[in-house]
Copies of this chain bind each other. A is one copy, B any other.
Amino acid sequence: MSAETAVSTDLGELAAELSEGALVTDRDVIDSYSSDKALFCPVGEALALVRAASVEDVVAVMRFATAHRIPVVTQGARTGLSGAANATDGAILLNVAKLSAIVDIDAVNQTCRVQPGVINQDLKHALAAHKLSYPPDPGSVAISTIGGNVATNAGGMCCVKYGVTKDYVRAMTVVLADGTVTTLGRQTAKGVAGLDLAGLFVGSEGTLGVIVEITLGLTPLLAPPVTGVGIFPDLESAGHTVSEFMASGAAPSMLELMDGGTVGMINAYGDFGLPDGAGALLLVQSDAPGQAGVNELKSFEAIATAQGADEVFFSDDPADSEMLVAARRAVSPAMEKYVSGIGGGELIDDVCVPRSCLGEFFARLDEIAARHSVEVSTAGHAGDGNMHPSVLFDASDPTSVAEAKETFSEIMQLGLDLGGTITGEHGVGYLKKDWLVRELDAGARALQTSIKTAVDPLGILNPGKMLG
Protein backbone atom coordinates (compact mmCIF):
# COMPACT_ATOMS: atom_id res chain seq x y z
CA MET A 1 0.00 0.00 0.00
CA SER A 2 1.49 3.33 -1.00
CA ALA A 3 1.67 6.20 1.45
CA GLU A 4 -0.91 8.09 -0.54
CA THR A 5 -3.41 5.23 -0.39
CA ALA A 6 -2.82 4.93 3.36
CA VAL A 7 -3.69 8.57 3.86
CA SER A 8 -6.85 8.43 1.78
CA THR A 9 -7.96 5.26 3.59
CA ASP A 10 -7.35 7.06 6.87
CA LEU A 11 -9.38 10.05 5.76
CA GLY A 12 -12.17 7.74 4.74
CA GLU A 13 -12.15 6.41 8.28
CA LEU A 14 -12.40 10.00 9.55
CA ALA A 15 -15.11 10.98 7.08
CA ALA A 16 -17.29 8.15 8.35
CA GLU A 17 -17.23 9.72 11.82
CA LEU A 18 -18.04 13.25 10.70
CA SER A 19 -21.16 15.17 9.76
CA GLU A 20 -21.91 14.99 6.08
CA GLY A 21 -19.76 17.34 4.07
CA ALA A 22 -17.59 18.31 7.02
CA LEU A 23 -14.44 16.79 5.54
CA VAL A 24 -12.95 18.73 2.66
CA THR A 25 -10.10 17.32 0.61
CA ASP A 26 -10.32 19.65 -2.37
CA ARG A 27 -6.90 21.25 -2.57
CA ASP A 28 -8.14 24.68 -3.65
CA VAL A 29 -10.59 24.88 -0.78
CA ILE A 30 -7.98 23.65 1.70
CA ASP A 31 -5.55 26.26 0.42
CA SER A 32 -8.14 29.00 0.78
CA TYR A 33 -8.41 28.11 4.48
CA SER A 34 -4.68 27.81 5.03
CA SER A 35 -3.72 31.23 6.32
CA ASP A 36 -4.80 34.06 8.56
CA LYS A 37 -4.03 37.76 8.05
CA ALA A 38 -0.39 37.65 9.15
CA LEU A 39 2.49 38.48 6.86
CA PHE A 40 5.80 36.61 6.71
CA CYS A 41 4.50 33.40 8.24
CA PRO A 42 4.94 30.06 6.50
CA VAL A 43 1.84 28.41 5.10
CA GLY A 44 2.14 24.64 5.03
CA GLU A 45 0.28 22.11 2.97
CA ALA A 46 -2.56 20.78 5.07
CA LEU A 47 -3.77 17.20 4.74
CA ALA A 48 -7.44 18.13 4.94
CA LEU A 49 -9.95 20.66 6.16
CA VAL A 50 -12.75 19.80 8.54
CA ARG A 51 -15.56 22.33 8.89
CA ALA A 52 -16.97 21.05 12.15
CA ALA A 53 -20.76 21.11 12.35
CA SER A 54 -20.95 19.69 15.87
CA VAL A 55 -18.89 19.02 18.98
CA GLU A 56 -18.92 15.38 17.93
CA ASP A 57 -17.07 16.37 14.76
CA VAL A 58 -14.38 18.00 16.87
CA VAL A 59 -14.12 14.89 19.05
CA ALA A 60 -13.85 12.68 15.97
CA VAL A 61 -11.05 14.84 14.54
CA MET A 62 -9.06 14.78 17.77
CA ARG A 63 -9.45 11.02 18.24
CA PHE A 64 -8.37 10.46 14.67
CA ALA A 65 -5.49 12.89 15.04
CA THR A 66 -4.28 11.22 18.22
CA ALA A 67 -4.57 7.75 16.72
CA HIS A 68 -2.56 8.76 13.66
CA ARG A 69 -0.40 11.46 15.30
CA ILE A 70 -1.60 14.09 12.86
CA PRO A 71 -1.21 17.77 13.75
CA VAL A 72 -4.40 19.81 14.14
CA VAL A 73 -4.64 23.55 13.53
CA THR A 74 -7.83 24.97 15.00
CA GLN A 75 -9.18 28.08 13.34
CA GLY A 76 -12.24 30.33 13.25
CA ALA A 77 -12.56 33.40 11.03
CA ARG A 78 -8.77 33.49 10.39
CA THR A 79 -8.59 37.19 11.13
CA GLY A 80 -5.55 36.77 13.39
CA LEU A 81 -2.37 38.72 12.81
CA SER A 82 0.24 36.22 14.02
CA GLY A 83 -0.07 33.18 11.75
CA ALA A 84 -1.46 31.06 14.60
CA ALA A 85 -4.19 29.72 12.31
CA ASN A 86 -1.89 29.02 9.36
CA ALA A 87 -1.67 25.48 8.03
CA THR A 88 1.34 23.33 8.84
CA ASP A 89 2.40 20.50 6.58
CA GLY A 90 0.26 17.40 6.93
CA ALA A 91 -2.12 19.00 9.45
CA ILE A 92 -5.86 18.86 9.62
CA LEU A 93 -7.32 22.35 9.56
CA LEU A 94 -10.13 22.18 12.10
CA ASN A 95 -12.40 25.11 11.37
CA VAL A 96 -15.03 25.74 14.03
CA ALA A 97 -16.63 28.85 12.50
CA LYS A 98 -19.87 26.94 11.83
CA LEU A 99 -20.31 26.27 15.55
CA SER A 100 -21.89 29.67 15.85
CA ALA A 101 -24.88 29.35 18.15
CA ILE A 102 -25.61 31.71 21.01
CA VAL A 103 -26.72 28.94 23.34
CA ASP A 104 -28.11 31.04 26.15
CA ILE A 105 -28.37 34.64 27.41
CA ASP A 106 -29.12 34.94 31.13
CA ALA A 107 -30.07 38.51 32.05
CA VAL A 108 -30.42 37.86 35.79
CA ASN A 109 -27.00 36.28 36.17
CA GLN A 110 -25.52 38.46 33.42
CA THR A 111 -23.90 35.58 31.61
CA CYS A 112 -24.13 33.97 28.22
CA ARG A 113 -23.03 30.68 26.74
CA VAL A 114 -21.82 30.72 23.17
CA GLN A 115 -20.22 28.45 20.66
CA PRO A 116 -16.78 29.54 19.43
CA GLY A 117 -17.87 30.62 15.94
CA VAL A 118 -20.13 33.48 17.06
CA ILE A 119 -18.91 36.80 15.62
CA ASN A 120 -18.07 39.26 18.39
CA GLN A 121 -20.25 42.04 16.93
CA ASP A 122 -23.21 39.67 16.49
CA LEU A 123 -22.98 38.75 20.16
CA LYS A 124 -22.88 42.42 21.13
CA HIS A 125 -26.06 43.07 19.15
CA ALA A 126 -27.85 40.08 20.64
CA LEU A 127 -26.86 41.11 24.17
CA ALA A 128 -27.96 44.72 23.71
CA ALA A 129 -31.53 43.48 23.33
CA HIS A 130 -31.19 42.10 26.87
CA LYS A 131 -29.56 45.34 28.13
CA LEU A 132 -26.22 43.57 28.51
CA SER A 133 -22.74 44.24 27.17
CA TYR A 134 -19.71 42.10 26.37
CA PRO A 135 -17.03 44.83 26.31
CA PRO A 136 -13.99 43.31 24.52
CA ASP A 137 -13.78 45.00 21.12
CA PRO A 138 -10.73 44.04 19.08
CA GLY A 139 -10.21 45.91 15.81
CA SER A 140 -11.64 42.81 14.13
CA VAL A 141 -14.87 43.02 16.16
CA ALA A 142 -17.07 42.85 13.07
CA ILE A 143 -15.37 39.79 11.59
CA SER A 144 -13.60 37.81 14.33
CA THR A 145 -15.14 35.06 16.44
CA ILE A 146 -15.47 34.77 20.20
CA GLY A 147 -13.54 31.49 20.03
CA GLY A 148 -10.64 33.24 18.31
CA ASN A 149 -10.92 36.15 20.74
CA VAL A 150 -10.65 33.70 23.65
CA ALA A 151 -7.82 31.75 22.02
CA THR A 152 -5.81 34.98 21.70
CA ASN A 153 -7.13 36.84 24.77
CA ALA A 154 -8.21 39.65 22.49
CA GLY A 155 -8.34 43.24 23.68
CA GLY A 156 -9.39 46.39 21.89
CA MET A 157 -10.34 49.95 22.72
CA CYS A 158 -12.41 49.09 25.81
CA CYS A 159 -9.51 47.63 27.76
CA VAL A 160 -8.40 50.83 29.47
CA LYS A 161 -11.56 50.62 31.58
CA TYR A 162 -13.09 47.21 30.90
CA GLY A 163 -10.15 44.85 30.60
CA VAL A 164 -9.52 42.05 28.13
CA THR A 165 -11.26 38.84 27.04
CA LYS A 166 -9.79 36.89 29.97
CA ASP A 167 -11.69 39.09 32.40
CA TYR A 168 -15.00 37.85 30.97
CA VAL A 169 -14.38 34.12 30.55
CA ARG A 170 -15.91 32.07 33.35
CA ALA A 171 -15.98 28.59 31.91
CA MET A 172 -15.34 26.73 28.71
CA THR A 173 -15.91 23.29 27.31
CA VAL A 174 -12.86 22.03 25.48
CA VAL A 175 -11.96 18.96 23.49
CA LEU A 176 -8.51 17.79 24.50
CA ALA A 177 -5.89 16.26 22.23
CA ASP A 178 -7.18 12.71 22.75
CA GLY A 179 -10.82 13.67 22.19
CA THR A 180 -11.77 13.96 25.86
CA VAL A 181 -14.50 16.56 26.40
CA THR A 182 -14.17 18.50 29.63
CA THR A 183 -15.60 21.64 31.19
CA LEU A 184 -13.17 24.02 32.89
CA GLY A 185 -13.96 26.95 35.18
CA ARG A 186 -17.29 27.74 36.76
CA GLN A 187 -20.64 29.28 35.88
CA THR A 188 -20.69 31.52 38.96
CA ALA A 189 -19.33 35.02 39.52
CA LYS A 190 -16.57 33.64 41.74
CA GLY A 191 -14.92 30.28 42.16
CA VAL A 192 -11.57 28.85 43.26
CA ALA A 193 -12.08 25.11 43.02
CA GLY A 194 -8.72 23.88 41.77
CA LEU A 195 -6.16 25.40 39.41
CA ASP A 196 -7.63 28.02 37.06
CA LEU A 197 -7.53 25.97 33.88
CA ALA A 198 -10.16 28.02 32.05
CA GLY A 199 -7.81 30.95 32.53
CA LEU A 200 -4.88 28.90 31.25
CA PHE A 201 -6.72 28.09 28.02
CA VAL A 202 -7.48 31.77 27.38
CA GLY A 203 -4.72 32.99 25.08
CA SER A 204 -3.38 29.49 24.42
CA GLU A 205 -3.73 29.91 20.64
CA GLY A 206 -4.96 26.39 19.93
CA THR A 207 -1.95 24.74 21.57
CA LEU A 208 -3.83 23.11 24.49
CA GLY A 209 -7.22 22.05 23.18
CA VAL A 210 -10.19 22.98 21.03
CA ILE A 211 -12.68 25.36 22.64
CA VAL A 212 -16.23 24.32 21.77
CA GLU A 213 -18.31 26.37 24.22
CA ILE A 214 -17.65 29.42 26.35
CA THR A 215 -19.50 30.93 29.31
CA LEU A 216 -18.95 34.68 29.50
CA GLY A 217 -19.68 37.02 32.38
CA LEU A 218 -21.26 40.25 31.15
CA THR A 219 -21.83 43.81 32.28
CA PRO A 220 -25.01 45.87 32.29
CA LEU A 221 -25.41 47.66 28.96
CA LEU A 222 -22.65 50.25 28.78
CA ALA A 223 -23.87 53.82 28.90
CA PRO A 224 -23.41 56.14 25.88
CA PRO A 225 -20.12 57.98 26.34
CA VAL A 226 -19.02 61.56 26.01
CA THR A 227 -16.32 61.67 23.34
CA GLY A 228 -13.46 64.09 23.04
CA VAL A 229 -10.58 64.75 20.67
CA GLY A 230 -7.26 66.39 21.40
CA ILE A 231 -5.07 67.61 18.54
CA PHE A 232 -1.37 67.87 19.39
CA PRO A 233 1.64 69.29 17.60
CA ASP A 234 3.60 66.07 18.21
CA LEU A 235 3.49 62.60 19.73
CA GLU A 236 5.50 63.70 22.75
CA SER A 237 2.88 66.14 24.03
CA ALA A 238 0.15 63.57 23.37
CA GLY A 239 2.14 60.95 25.29
CA HIS A 240 2.62 63.24 28.28
CA THR A 241 -1.09 64.03 28.25
CA VAL A 242 -1.88 60.30 28.45
CA SER A 243 0.47 59.80 31.41
CA GLU A 244 -0.79 62.80 33.31
CA PHE A 245 -4.47 62.22 32.60
CA MET A 246 -4.32 58.58 33.72
CA ALA A 247 -2.23 59.43 36.79
CA SER A 248 -4.88 62.01 37.79
CA GLY A 249 -7.26 59.20 38.70
CA ALA A 250 -9.24 59.39 35.47
CA ALA A 251 -11.05 56.26 34.35
CA PRO A 252 -11.78 56.89 30.66
CA SER A 253 -13.66 54.20 28.79
CA MET A 254 -11.43 54.80 25.76
CA LEU A 255 -8.09 56.56 25.24
CA GLU A 256 -6.74 56.04 21.72
CA LEU A 257 -3.83 57.64 19.93
CA MET A 258 -2.99 58.22 16.27
CA ASP A 259 0.11 59.86 14.92
CA GLY A 260 -0.07 62.58 12.30
CA GLY A 261 0.60 60.20 9.42
CA THR A 262 -2.29 58.00 10.46
CA VAL A 263 -4.64 60.97 10.73
CA GLY A 264 -3.59 62.00 7.22
CA MET A 265 -4.37 58.52 5.87
CA ILE A 266 -7.80 58.56 7.51
CA ASN A 267 -8.59 61.96 5.98
CA ALA A 268 -7.52 60.64 2.59
CA TYR A 269 -9.81 57.66 3.11
CA GLY A 270 -12.97 59.51 4.20
CA ASP A 271 -14.39 62.50 6.00
CA PHE A 272 -14.73 61.69 9.69
CA GLY A 273 -14.38 65.29 10.85
CA LEU A 274 -10.70 65.06 11.78
CA PRO A 275 -8.55 68.16 11.17
CA ASP A 276 -5.70 68.14 8.67
CA GLY A 277 -2.14 68.68 9.73
CA ALA A 278 -2.31 67.19 13.22
CA GLY A 279 1.00 66.04 14.71
CA ALA A 280 -0.87 63.54 16.86
CA LEU A 281 -4.43 62.93 17.97
CA LEU A 282 -5.95 61.51 21.13
CA LEU A 283 -9.48 60.16 21.12
CA VAL A 284 -10.96 59.94 24.60
CA GLN A 285 -14.30 58.73 25.93
CA SER A 286 -15.91 58.68 29.35
CA ASP A 287 -19.03 56.68 30.14
CA ALA A 288 -19.15 57.81 33.76
CA PRO A 289 -22.76 58.66 34.63
CA GLY A 290 -24.22 62.13 34.33
CA GLN A 291 -22.01 65.15 34.89
CA ALA A 292 -19.09 62.92 35.90
CA GLY A 293 -18.44 62.03 32.27
CA VAL A 294 -18.36 65.65 31.18
CA ASN A 295 -16.12 66.51 34.13
CA GLU A 296 -13.69 63.80 33.13
CA LEU A 297 -13.44 65.24 29.62
CA LYS A 298 -12.99 68.74 31.05
CA SER A 299 -10.10 67.41 33.08
CA PHE A 300 -8.66 65.89 29.89
CA GLU A 301 -9.04 69.25 28.15
CA ALA A 302 -7.18 71.08 30.92
CA ILE A 303 -4.30 68.61 30.94
CA ALA A 304 -4.06 68.47 27.14
CA THR A 305 -4.08 72.26 26.89
CA ALA A 306 -1.35 72.56 29.50
CA GLN A 307 0.69 70.05 27.48
CA GLY A 308 0.40 72.25 24.39
CA ALA A 309 -2.56 70.77 22.54
CA ASP A 310 -3.55 72.82 19.49
CA GLU A 311 -7.22 72.08 19.95
CA VAL A 312 -9.50 70.05 22.22
CA PHE A 313 -13.20 69.48 21.68
CA PHE A 314 -15.80 67.08 23.02
CA SER A 315 -19.43 66.17 22.51
CA ASP A 316 -22.11 64.06 24.16
CA ASP A 317 -24.00 63.68 20.88
CA PRO A 318 -24.05 59.94 20.09
CA ALA A 319 -23.75 60.69 16.36
CA ASP A 320 -20.50 62.60 16.94
CA SER A 321 -19.19 59.78 19.12
CA GLU A 322 -19.99 57.20 16.49
CA MET A 323 -18.26 59.17 13.76
CA LEU A 324 -15.11 59.64 15.84
CA VAL A 325 -14.98 55.96 16.77
CA ALA A 326 -15.57 55.14 13.11
CA ALA A 327 -12.53 57.29 12.34
CA ARG A 328 -10.46 55.19 14.75
CA ARG A 329 -11.81 51.97 13.25
CA ALA A 330 -10.95 53.33 9.79
CA VAL A 331 -7.23 53.22 10.60
CA SER A 332 -6.93 49.73 9.21
CA PRO A 333 -8.70 50.22 5.84
CA ALA A 334 -7.20 53.72 5.47
CA MET A 335 -3.72 52.31 5.91
CA GLU A 336 -4.54 49.49 3.50
CA LYS A 337 -5.58 52.07 0.91
CA TYR A 338 -2.42 54.06 1.50
CA VAL A 339 -0.04 51.11 1.21
CA SER A 340 -1.72 49.93 -1.97
CA GLY A 341 -0.04 52.96 -3.52
CA ILE A 342 3.44 52.19 -2.20
CA GLY A 343 3.74 48.47 -2.84
CA GLY A 344 1.16 47.01 -0.52
CA GLY A 345 3.25 45.96 2.47
CA GLU A 346 1.93 46.53 6.00
CA LEU A 347 3.33 44.83 9.06
CA ILE A 348 1.46 45.77 12.21
CA ASP A 349 3.27 45.54 15.53
CA ASP A 350 1.66 45.23 18.96
CA VAL A 351 4.06 46.15 21.72
CA CYS A 352 2.77 47.22 25.10
CA VAL A 353 4.87 49.38 27.42
CA PRO A 354 4.23 51.00 30.79
CA ARG A 355 2.21 54.16 30.16
CA SER A 356 4.89 56.30 31.75
CA CYS A 357 7.26 55.24 28.95
CA LEU A 358 5.13 56.41 26.03
CA GLY A 359 7.13 59.61 25.54
CA GLU A 360 10.41 57.72 25.33
CA PHE A 361 8.78 55.06 23.19
CA PHE A 362 7.75 57.61 20.57
CA ALA A 363 11.15 59.32 20.59
CA ARG A 364 12.99 56.05 20.04
CA LEU A 365 10.43 54.88 17.49
CA ASP A 366 11.29 58.00 15.49
CA GLU A 367 14.96 57.04 15.66
CA ILE A 368 14.17 53.54 14.45
CA ALA A 369 12.10 54.84 11.55
CA ALA A 370 14.84 57.30 10.63
CA ARG A 371 17.37 54.49 10.34
CA HIS A 372 15.29 52.57 7.81
CA SER A 373 13.90 53.20 4.35
CA VAL A 374 10.34 52.27 5.33
CA GLU A 375 7.55 54.33 6.84
CA VAL A 376 6.23 53.76 10.36
CA SER A 377 2.74 54.91 11.21
CA THR A 378 1.40 54.50 14.73
CA ALA A 379 -2.03 54.12 16.28
CA GLY A 380 -2.91 52.34 19.47
CA HIS A 381 -4.49 52.00 22.85
CA ALA A 382 -2.60 54.77 24.59
CA GLY A 383 -4.37 54.40 27.92
CA ASP A 384 -2.92 50.89 28.22
CA GLY A 385 0.45 51.71 26.64
CA ASN A 386 -0.46 49.22 23.90
CA MET A 387 0.86 50.62 20.62
CA HIS A 388 0.41 49.38 17.08
CA PRO A 389 3.20 50.88 14.98
CA SER A 390 2.64 49.75 11.40
CA VAL A 391 5.65 49.29 9.18
CA LEU A 392 4.65 50.32 5.64
CA PHE A 393 6.83 49.05 2.81
CA ASP A 394 7.02 47.93 -0.78
CA ALA A 395 6.24 44.22 -0.76
CA SER A 396 7.62 43.85 -4.29
CA ASP A 397 11.06 45.12 -3.31
CA PRO A 398 13.25 42.63 -1.40
CA THR A 399 15.28 45.46 0.12
CA SER A 400 12.14 47.13 1.42
CA VAL A 401 10.90 43.79 2.79
CA ALA A 402 14.16 43.18 4.61
CA GLU A 403 14.09 46.70 6.03
CA ALA A 404 10.50 46.18 7.15
CA LYS A 405 11.37 42.98 8.99
CA GLU A 406 14.33 44.66 10.66
CA THR A 407 12.21 47.65 11.67
CA PHE A 408 9.53 45.34 13.07
CA SER A 409 12.14 43.54 15.17
CA GLU A 410 13.66 46.76 16.45
CA ILE A 411 10.22 47.90 17.61
CA MET A 412 9.79 44.70 19.61
CA GLN A 413 13.23 45.14 21.10
CA LEU A 414 12.27 48.69 22.05
CA GLY A 415 9.18 47.34 23.79
CA LEU A 416 11.30 44.90 25.79
CA ASP A 417 13.91 47.59 26.56
CA LEU A 418 11.19 49.74 28.12
CA GLY A 419 9.97 46.93 30.36
CA GLY A 420 7.13 46.01 28.05
CA THR A 421 5.97 43.02 26.07
CA ILE A 422 6.27 41.99 22.41
CA THR A 423 2.52 41.51 22.19
CA GLY A 424 -0.24 43.27 24.07
CA GLU A 425 -3.18 41.59 22.35
CA HIS A 426 -2.41 40.06 18.95
CA GLY A 427 -0.62 36.97 20.23
CA VAL A 428 2.54 35.10 19.33
CA GLY A 429 1.53 32.49 16.77
CA TYR A 430 4.31 31.99 14.29
CA LEU A 431 5.13 35.66 13.73
CA LYS A 432 6.67 36.33 17.15
CA LYS A 433 7.78 32.90 18.32
CA ASP A 434 11.46 33.80 18.06
CA TRP A 435 10.73 36.89 20.12
CA LEU A 436 8.78 35.06 22.79
CA VAL A 437 12.01 33.26 23.62
CA ARG A 438 13.61 36.65 24.28
CA GLU A 439 10.79 37.94 26.44
CA LEU A 440 10.51 34.94 28.75
CA ASP A 441 13.30 33.95 31.11
CA ALA A 442 14.70 30.41 31.06
CA GLY A 443 12.51 29.27 33.95
CA ALA A 444 9.34 30.56 32.35
CA ARG A 445 10.22 28.98 29.00
CA ALA A 446 10.78 25.60 30.60
CA LEU A 447 7.52 25.92 32.52
CA GLN A 448 5.59 26.86 29.36
CA THR A 449 7.01 23.86 27.55
CA SER A 450 6.40 21.38 30.34
CA ILE A 451 2.78 22.50 30.74
CA LYS A 452 2.19 22.30 26.99
CA THR A 453 3.67 18.79 26.97
CA ALA A 454 1.55 17.73 29.95
CA VAL A 455 -1.65 18.83 28.22
CA ASP A 456 -0.69 17.72 24.70
CA PRO A 457 1.82 14.90 25.14
CA LEU A 458 1.94 14.00 21.43
CA GLY A 459 2.45 17.62 20.45
CA ILE A 460 -0.30 17.53 17.84
CA LEU A 461 -2.10 20.76 18.79
CA ASN A 462 -0.94 23.66 16.61
CA PRO A 463 2.70 22.56 16.57
CA GLY A 464 5.32 25.12 15.65
CA LYS A 465 3.33 28.03 17.01
CA MET A 466 3.99 30.03 20.18
CA LEU A 467 6.82 28.16 21.96
CA GLY A 468 6.42 24.99 19.87
Q: Is the CB of A107 within 8 A of B247?
A: yes
Q: Is the CB of B428 within 8 A of A194?
A: yes
- Of B152, B191, B243, B444, which is within 8 A of A424 by CB? B191
25 contacts between A and B (CB under 8 A): A106-B354, A108-B354, A108-B355, A108-B356, A109-B356, A110-B246, A159-B189, A164-B190, A166-B196, A176-B443, A180-B442, A181-B443, A182-B444, A183-B444, A188-B352, A191-B352, A193-B421, A194-B428, A194-B436, A194-B439, A194-B448, A195-B203, A199-B199, A220-B251, A292-B292
Q: How many copies does the complex hold?
A: 2
Q: Which residues of B contact A195 (CB under 8 A)?
A: 200, 203-204, 207-208, 448, 451-452, 466
Q: Is the CB of B200 within 8 A of A159?
A: no
Chain A at the B interface: SS class: loop
Give A164 to B246 CA distance when docked, in angstroms. Answer: 22
Stretch from A283-291, A313-321, A363-371 forming part of the interface with B: A283-291
Q: Is the CB of A192 within 8 A of B424?
A: yes
Within A134-191, the residues touching B (CB, 8 Å) are 152-153, 155, 159-160, 163-164, 166-167, 176, 180-184, 186-191
Q: Is the CB of A191 within 8 A of B454?
A: no
Count the A residues whose beta carbon is within 8 Å of the partner chain — how many?
Answer: 94
Q: Is the CB of A443 within 8 A of B182?
A: yes
Q: Which residue of B lies closest to A180 (CB)?
A: B443
Give A208 to B424 CA distance when docked, in angstroms. Answer: 26
Interface residue? A328 (CB, 8 A) = no
Q: Which residues of B contact A290 (CB under 8 A)?
A: 289-292
Min CB gap A321→B, angstroms: 19
Within A26-71, the residues touching B (CB, 8 Å) are none
List 9 additional contacts besides A193-B436, A289-B290, A292-B292; criterion CB under 8 Å: A108-B243, A109-B385, A186-B352, A189-B383, A190-B384, A195-B200, A195-B452, A196-B203, A453-B454
Q: Which residues of B contact A225 (CB under 8 A)?
A: none
| CB within 8 Å for A197 and B451 given contacts A182-B443, A290-B291, A421-B188 | yes
Interface residue? A274 (CB, 8 A) = no
Q: Is the CB of A451 within 8 A of B448?
A: no
Q: Is the CB of A190 within 8 A of B386?
A: yes
Q: Which residue of B lies closest to A419 (CB)?
A: B187
Interface residue? A426 (CB, 8 A) = yes
Give A166 to B108 CA distance when docked, in angstroms. Answer: 24
Min CB gap A307→B, angstroms: 14
| CB within 8 Å for A190 and B247 given contacts A109-B355, A163-B167, A448-B195 | no
